[in-house]
Amino acid sequence: MRATIGLLLISLLSSVSASDQVPAPPQTHPILLTNATIHPVSSDEIRRGAILFENGVITAVGRRITNLPDNTETIDLNGKHVYPGMIAAASVMGLTEIGAVAVTRDFSERGDVNPNVRAEVAYHPDSEIIPVTRSNGVVLAHSCPTGGLISGTSAVMMLDGWTWENATLKAPAGLHINWPNMGAVRSRYFRMTEEEAAKRREESLKKLDAAFEEARRYLTAKEAAEQSGRITVETDLRWEAMLPVLRREVPVFMHASEVRQIESAVEWSNRQKVEMVIVGGYDAWRVADLLKKYEIPVIYEGVNSLPRRRWEDFDTPFTVPLKLHEAGVKFSISMGTGGASNHRNTPYEASKAASYGLPKEEALKSVTLYAAEILGIADRVGSLEKGKDATLMITDGDPLEITTQVEQVYIQGKTIDMGDRHKSLYSKYKEKYRQLGKIR
My answer on whether 49 and 133 are in the same domain is no
pLDDT in tens, the chain (440 residues): 344 444 344 444 444 456 688 999 999 999 999 999 999 999 999 999 999 999 999 999 999 998 999 999 999 999 999 999 999 999 999 999 888 787 788 888 888 999 999 999 999 999 999 999 999 999 999 999 998 999 999 999 999 999 999 999 999 999 999 999 877 777 776 777 888 878 888 999 999 999 999 999 999 999 888 888 777 788 899 999 999 999 999 999 999 999 999 999 999 999 999 999 999 999 999 999 999 999 999 999 989 999 999 999 999 999 999 999 999 999 999 998 878 889 999 999 999 999 999 999 999 999 999 999 999 999 999 999 999 999 999 999 999 999 999 999 999 999 999 999 999 999 999 999 999 999 98
My answer on whether 364 and 413 are in the same domain is no
Determine the length of the chain: 440
Q: Phi and psi dihedrals of 183, rounded to 5? A: -160, -175
pLDDT of residue 2: 40
My answer on whether 274 and 301 are in the same domain is yes
DSSP code string of 297-346: -EEEE-SSS--SSTTS-TTHHHHHHHHHHHHT--EEEE--TT-SGGGGGH
Q: What is the pLDDT of residues 240-280, one digit of tens each?
A: 999 999 999 999 999 999 999 999 999 999 999 999 999 99
> In Å, how far are 19, 184, 269, 399 from 301, measured between CA atoms?
27, 22, 21, 19
The whole-angstrom separation of Cα 92 and Cα 105 is 9
CATH of the domain at 352: 3.20.20.140
- 342 found inside a domain: yes
CATH of the domain at 65: 2.30.40.10
The whole-angstrom separation of Cα 52 and Cα 66 is 10
My answer on whether 257 and 398 are in the same domain is no
- 188 found inside a domain: yes
My answer on whether 256 and 157 are in the same domain is yes
Other beta carbons less than 10 A from residue 276's beta carbon: 24
- 191 found inside a domain: yes
246 contact partners, CB below 8 Å, separation of at least 6: 212, 215, 216, 219, 274
135 contact partners, CB below 8 Å, separation of at least 6: 344, 406, 418, 420, 422, 423
My answer on whether 63 and 200 are in the same domain is no
- 9 found inside a domain: no
Task: Name the pTM for this structure.
Answer: 0.92
Which of 132, 154, 130 is CA-nearest to residue 143? 154
How many domains does the chain fold into?
2
My answer on whether 174 and 204 are in the same domain is yes
**Residue numbers of the domain that contains 48:** 20-85+382-419
- 429 found inside a domain: no
My answer on whether 95 and 231 are in the same domain is yes
pLDDT of residue 18: 63
Side-chain-facing half-sphere of 222: CA atoms under 13 Å: 16
pLDDT of residue 200: 87
My answer on whether 212 and 228 are in the same domain is yes
Side-chain-facing half-sphere of 152: CA atoms under 13 Å: 24
pLDDT of residue 108: 84
Domain C-terminal end among 327, 352, 380? 380
My answer on whether 184 and 123 are in the same domain is yes
My answer on whether 396 and 307 are in the same domain is no
- 53 found inside a domain: yes
- 436 found inside a domain: no
Q: What is the pLDDT of residues 147-189, one digit of tens each?
A: 899 999 999 999 999 999 999 999 999 999 999 987 777 777 6
The whole-angstrom separation of Cα 430 and Cα 434 is 6
Q: Collapsing DSSP states into helix, strand and coil, what is residue 54?
A: strand
